[in-house]
Amino acid sequence: MSDVLLRNITKRFGTTTAVDHLSLDIADGEFVVLLGPTGAGKTTTLRLVAGLERPDEGEVFIGGERVSQLEPAARDVAFVFQQYSLYPHLSVHENLAFPLKSPVRRLAAAEIDARVKRVAEMLRIQHKLNNKSTQLSGGEMQRVAIGRALVRQPSIYLMDEPLSSLDAKLRGELRLELKRIQQELGATILYVTHDQIEAMTMANRIGVIDGGKLLQIGTPREMFEDPNSAYVAQRLGQPQINLLPAGALPNGRIPDGAVTVGARTEHLDLSKSGSGEGEVEWVEHLGDQIRLHVKLGPHMVTTLVDPDSELVAGDRVAMRLKNPLYFDANGARLRS
Amino acid sequence: MTAAITAHSVVEPSSASKRVAGAIVIVYALVSMIPLFWIFATGWKTPPDSISYPPKLVFAPSLEGYCNLFTTRTRQTPEYILGLGPPQTICDRITRQRDMVIAGPSNYAPRFINSLIIAFGSTFCAVVLGVLAAYGFSRFKVPLKDDLLFFILSTRMMPPIAVAIPIYLMYRQLGLSDTAMGMILLYTAVNVSLAVWLLKGFIDEIPKEYEEAAMIDGYTRLHAFFKVVLPQAATGIAATAIFCLIFAWNEYAFAVLLTSGAAQTAPPFIPTIIGEGGMDWPAVGAGTTLFLIPILVFTVLLRKHLLRGITFGAVRK
Amino acid sequence: MAEIRVENLKKAFGDFVAVKESSFTIPDGSFFCLLGPSGCGKTTTLRMIAGLELPTSGKIFLGGEDVAFKRASERDIAFVFQLFALYPHMNVRRNIGFPLLCQGVPGAEIRKRVEETAKLLRIDHLLDKSVSGLAGGDRQRVALGRAIVRRPLAFLMDEPLGTLDTEFRDLMCEELRQLHNRISATTVYVTHDQLEAMSMADHIAVMNHGVVEQLASPRDIYDRPATVFVASFIGSPAMNLLTVNSRIAKGAKAIDLQGAPIAIPEAREDAPGEKLTLGVRPEHVRFSDSSPFRGEVFGTEYLGTTQIVTVATAQGHLKARLPSQIAVRTGETVGLTLAGERLSLFDAASGRAIRTALYEERPHV
């Protein structure tokens, strides 16, 4: 294990710039998640670290060594793809052993077998080792795919939305498991996803990326509670943060230049009041969340309420802001 | 409604329409097999039976066709034949009944072996070249890729025989006329365009992530190609090989033109089997029957792949 | 629009029974979700309603008429496979009008209905644009337009949002529901994603192994799961299920957990077995230092406003949803209280819920 540095890397495909002067330090043993929408440049960043793409500008360092121009095989990284991760013509055991039989490693058969067994046990797939990889369920396939990275013990694990093809329940299970394994091994992981729950629950640090640029990076709590921009604030939190004109709700002092105010559930004080400015339009029971959609003049405000809340559609509510987030005309955060 | 309904789905045909379709297929298969049956039957007839009119559907089977196929014979007087010892083989006996003795082996066996060498050799070359070219076209940025692919395909656009004369002249100059090497090169050249196009389709369908994963795991691209791409392209390779083999095995026009002796293949040889008083039809039937066997065996062995191969495009996994 | 009624519908493929005799009614104008894991029979059920699959036995009434054995083309329904499938060589107007063109509707009528539909979907300004230049959401709306332009008796949708990004999916869920509110078309929607079902449906049928385990409103399904399967399938994270060795009889108001009594909604029947499964939603677990029911914090998952804390107890792992402000350290021992009036009890052997005061409350509609 060792730390990975990206220095000002840029990658262009024709006229589009996929990654734009991006710098990122990943410490040894750290779990960093890059969060961004499709086309944000997160997969390209991962491929640049892996060596599947060469940067047009900038350098990649792994463990202090400059690797920007090295072949993927020479970089000591492991990659978990979103799909197509297993070789269909090989068994689970052969799939797991595949990286260990490569010409740069060529481990002894006994060592390979021992490592495969250990990883299979860690991922609870030891009973499937002799199955053909096509006979596995989706969850088992992704476990094997992760296992194929784990047998290697590389400098860094690169993961490209490895859980996105699974259903919600399995995703939840594997999320926990991946985090547990990462902590057990002290592994360094760079993980990209568009799913904020994955980012929030697994990452030591989250980097929000858009248009090839790294907008902000920090711990999940920092990112959620103290975003630098309206964009980052919108990326995290369910329901999405409410963005309203700065004066739409009563609050103390509004900082100079504030155009937009961002309010999450914890920034809103809500009380039932006949003379309140808001009207409950619809109470959405999502089971784990109860969302209140409140009509506030021309705006809609979505907030969470307690399961035992008595509010129903048509009720009028008074709303007050508590330490909300302010943004200027460009969406940049204003800190008072 | 009761349990009488057995159809699973309306998008699936009902059992009645399945039966009708099955019947049509069977009838069609029978009709198209009549010539094959005719050839097979003729191989077991005696020469008089083979030309009798009306044709005999029921006849006493004879090995005469097969004996004539593999031997050359000379006519002798009955006295001379009687003077010989007892017949050594069945063929000896049959030949003597026609007042003839076996003079030596015919050219069929060497021609057949020529066919095997040339057809399998050219198929091997075409598939190897095809798979490498197809991989390149599929995975790399090749300058003028589309033009090159079109050019490769364009070699298939005119009937091969249209270039027969230039090739004949060229081969004479190069000393490739009537050589197995010449025929292998020629058939490879014709087949390789088909192979590149078919195989490119198959390789395009293998996600490149497989090779990337292998390359990150410490393999070179060449290793990845052998360990990851080839096994998954097996179906496509098998299908392509069958198509190439069928062409090379059956090819007649070039074979007539470019081979006459040492490198002659079976197709131009078989129609030249002349017996007494015209074509020796039983020998032709026997020769054709044997000629069908290798390709039949090859196709049956790879049947599963072939079926998946012709539906290429719809193939995943 | 019409009501859809399914009676004793059964489907077997050889020996494998995909759908066991199921009966349910989808009221006219309601949004109905068939929810379950893959292979539970939900798609087969939908395909039988669509006429793409013939049932082995049973009846399907579409607006009062039994259509179980009619061809798909003879049923007046629209089937939405994947919302993204548009014809790339046609503009928006022709894409939407295409189903009418197939039916031989006159040109002027097509024009009128396409424009009405576009207005309903708020894409009337895009009618003459090419579909290839459209943003994701608009493409989705055009695809929906193609389904609703025919004004069929019912819409059938098979995981139409399955391939979308989470965020975009939330947006489309909201939009689909709003569209439903506007046109009130009977809709049958198949999904394996409980959030989609919870956020859109009026009624949900939870299926497992070819059987409808529960049919109720989203809120009832969440608050009063009829079986252990439903309890574990709905919710994210799902309901905590703890095994308790305790008998309860009619009238019981508490059960014994680690020697401490835990309040439960009053039992209205005797539990048939020795073992019970206690179901508690993560948001009904609270930390309380004084509680005798204790466990060790195993891990936390930060979700922004809330966090999920996993606590290892003698009965197994228990997840609690707590506000993020509460500081929790992995490894510390905490006391837990459960919101007694919201607990579910199941017979451990059969997985069936035991009738309690909670379950006898007037169900939400």
For residue range A92-117, list pLDDT tens digits in order: 999 999 999 888 888 889 999 999 99
Which of A175, A195, A285 lies nearest to residue C222, judging by beta carbons? A285
Q: Spell out which residues of chain B touch residue C18, defining contact as CB-CB under 8 Å.
A: none
pLDDT at B5 over 50: no
Is residue B32 included in any domain, yes or no? no
Mean pLDDT of B297-303: 86
Residues A247 and A215 in one domain: no
pLDDT at B63 over 70: yes
Is residue B271 included in any domain, yes or no? yes
Residues A67 and A215 in one domain: yes
Residues A130 and A256 in one domain: no
- Res B317: pLDDT: 31
DSSP state at residue C130: B
Mean pLDDT of A14-35: 93
Q: Spell out which residues of chain B touch residue C56, defining contact as CB-CB under 8 Å.
A: 3, 5
Residues A153 and A245 in one domain: no
- Res B120: pLDDT: 95
- Res B314: pLDDT: 37
Residues B225 and B77 in one domain: no
Q: Spell out which residues of chain A touch residue C218, defining contact as CB-CB under 8 Å.
A: 285, 287
- Res A117: pLDDT: 92
Q: Do A85 and B219 touch (CB under 8 A)?
A: no
User: What are the CA-CA distances from residue A149 to residues A80, A119, B46, C365 (Å)?
Assistant: 7, 10, 71, 50
Is residue B228 included in any domain, yes or no? yes
Residues B186 and B306 in one domain: yes
Q: Spell out which residues of chain A touch residue B227, defining contact as CB-CB under 8 Å.
A: 98
Of A234-238, B272-276, C129-133, the poorest mean pLDDT is in B272-276
pLDDT band of residue C292 (cuts 50, 70, 90) is confident
Q: Spell out which residues of chain C touch residue A176, defining contact as CB-CB under 8 Å.
A: 299, 301, 310
Which of C51, C56, C59 lies nearest to residue B10, judging by beta carbons? C51
Residues A116 and A245 in one domain: no
pLDDT at B312 over 60: no
Residues A36 and A138 in one domain: yes
Residues A84 and A137 in one domain: yes
**Cα angle: B130, vertex B198, B157; to 5 degrees:** 90
- Res C82: pLDDT: 60
Query: Residues 6 or more apart from C362 whose CB is under 8 A from it?
Result: none
Q: Which of B68, B91, B106 is the last residue of a domain?
A: B106
- Res C195: pLDDT: 85
- Asked if C199 and C177 touch (Cβ cutoff 8 Å), the reply is yes
pLDDT digits (tens, 9 = 90+) for B183-223: 999 999 999 999 999 999 999 988 888 888 888 888 889 98
pLDDT band of residue B116 (cuts 50, 70, 90) is very high
Q: Which of A234, A256, A286 is the last residue of a domain?
A: A234
Pick the CATH number of C232-360 from 2.40.50.140, 3.40.50.720, 2.40.128.260, 3.40.50.10860: 2.40.50.140
Number of domains in chain A: 2
Of A91-100, B2-11, C87-96, C209-218, the poorest mean pLDDT is in B2-11
Q: Looking at the complex, does the CB of residue A54 fall below 8 Å from at least one CB of chain B?
A: no
Domain limits, chain C: 4-223, 232-360
Of A36-50, C254-268, C331-345, the poorest mean pLDDT is in C254-268
- Asked if C155 and C190 touch (Cβ cutoff 8 Å), the reply is no
- Res A88: pLDDT: 86
Mean pLDDT of A69-87: 87
Count of helices and strands (H, E) across chain B: 17, 4
Highest mean pLDDT: which range of A81-90, A199-208, A282-291, C247-256: A199-208
Report d(CA A268, CA A279) in Å as an integer.
15
Q: Do A79 and B317 touch (CB under 8 A)?
A: no
Chain B adjacent subunits, 3+ CB pairs under 8 A: A, C
pLDDT band of residue B3 (cuts 50, 70, 90) is very low
- Res B4: pLDDT: 40
Q: Which of B106, B124, B152 is the last residue of a domain?
A: B106
Mean pLDDT of B88-110: 89
Residues A203 and A88 in one domain: yes
pLDDT digits (tens, 9 = 90+) for A224-280: 999 999 999 999 988 889 999 988 887 767 888 889 999 998 898 888 888 888 899
**Cα angle: B138, vertex B152, B147; to 5 degrees:** 70
Min distance A148 CA to chain C CA atoms (Å):
26
User: What are the CA-CA distances from residue B96 to residues B86, B93, B99, B101 (Å)?
Assistant: 10, 5, 5, 6
Describe the strand order of the beta sheet including A316-321 as a list of residue ranges.
A268-272, A316-321, A278-285, A290-296, A299-304
Q: Which of A183, A213, A234 is the last residue of a domain?
A: A234
> How far from the centroid of its chain's Cα atoms is residue A168's Cα?
15
Interface test with C, best of A38, A42, A169, A195 (most C CBs within 10 A): A169
Domain that holds residue A60: 4-234
User: What are the CA-CA distances from residue B56 to residues B46, B61, B279, C120 (Å)?
Assistant: 11, 11, 18, 79
pLDDT at A199 over 60: yes
Residues A10 and A151 in one domain: yes
**Residue appearing with tokens 């902000």:** A216
Residues A191 and A261 in one domain: no
- Asked if B300 and B242 touch (Cβ cutoff 8 Å), the reply is no
Which of C13, C52, C57 lies nearest to residue B1, judging by beta carbons? C57
Q: H-helix or E-strand containing B17?
A: helix B15-43
Residue A321 sits in a domain whose CATH number is 2.40.50.140
Min distance C363 CA to chain A CA atoms (Å):
14
Q: Looking at the complex, does the CB of residue A304 fall below 8 Å from at least one CB of chain C?
A: yes
Q: Looking at the complex, does the CB of residue C51 fall below 8 Å from at least one CB of chain B?
A: yes
Number of domains in chain B: 2
- Res C102: pLDDT: 81
- Res C363: pLDDT: 55
Residue C10 burial by CB count (10 A; 0-12/13-18/19+): exposed, middle or buried? middle
Residue A210 sits in a domain whose CATH number is 3.40.50.300
pLDDT at B313 over 60: no
Which of C195, C301, C310 lies nearest to residue A286, judging by beta carbons? C195
Sign of CA dihedral A53, A54, A58, A62: positive
> How far from the centroid of its chain's Cα atoms is residue C10's Cα?
21
Q: H-helix or E-strand containing A336?
A: none
Q: Which of B85, B106, B127 is the last residue of a domain?
A: B106
Domain that holds residue B265: 109-310
pLDDT at B8 over 80: no
User: What are the CA-CA distances from residue A223 to residues A191, A226, A321, C53, C323 (Å)?
Assistant: 17, 5, 20, 50, 17
Min distance B216 CA to chain A CA atoms (Å):
5
pLDDT band of residue A218 (cuts 50, 70, 90) is very high
Which of B2, B3, B9 lies nearest to residue C53, judging by beta carbons? B9
Is residue B113 included in any domain, yes or no? yes
Chain C adjacent subunits, 3+ CB pairs under 8 A: A, B
Residues A51 and A192 in one domain: yes
User: What are the CA-CA distances from residue A50 to residues A31, A106, A156 (Å)?
Assistant: 16, 21, 9
Can you name the CATH fold of C4-223? Rossmann fold (3.40.50)
pLDDT band of residue C315 (cuts 50, 70, 90) is confident
Is residue B258 included in any domain, yes or no? yes
- Strands C240-245 and C275-280, how do they pair? antiparallel
Residues A182 and A264 in one domain: no
| Number of cross-chain residue pairs from B and C with Cβ atoms under 8 Å apart | 29
- Res B10: pLDDT: 57
Q: H-helix or E-strand containing B156?
A: none
Residues B87 and B73 in one domain: yes
- Asked if B266 and B111 touch (Cβ cutoff 8 Å), the reply is yes
Average pLDDT value for chain A: 88
pLDDT > 70: percent of chain A: 98
pLDDT at A315 over 80: yes
Q: Which of A234, A252, A286 is the last residue of a domain?
A: A234
Interface test with B, best of C43, C47, C53, C74 (most B CBs within 10 A): C53
Residue B121 sits in a domain whose CATH number is 1.10.3720.10
Query: Residues 6 or more apart from A251 whose CB is under 8 A from it?
Result: A261, A320, A321, A324
Of A244-248, B125-129, C361-365, the poorest mean pLDDT is in C361-365
Residues B188 and B289 in one domain: yes
Q: Do C305 and A179 touch (CB under 8 A)?
A: no
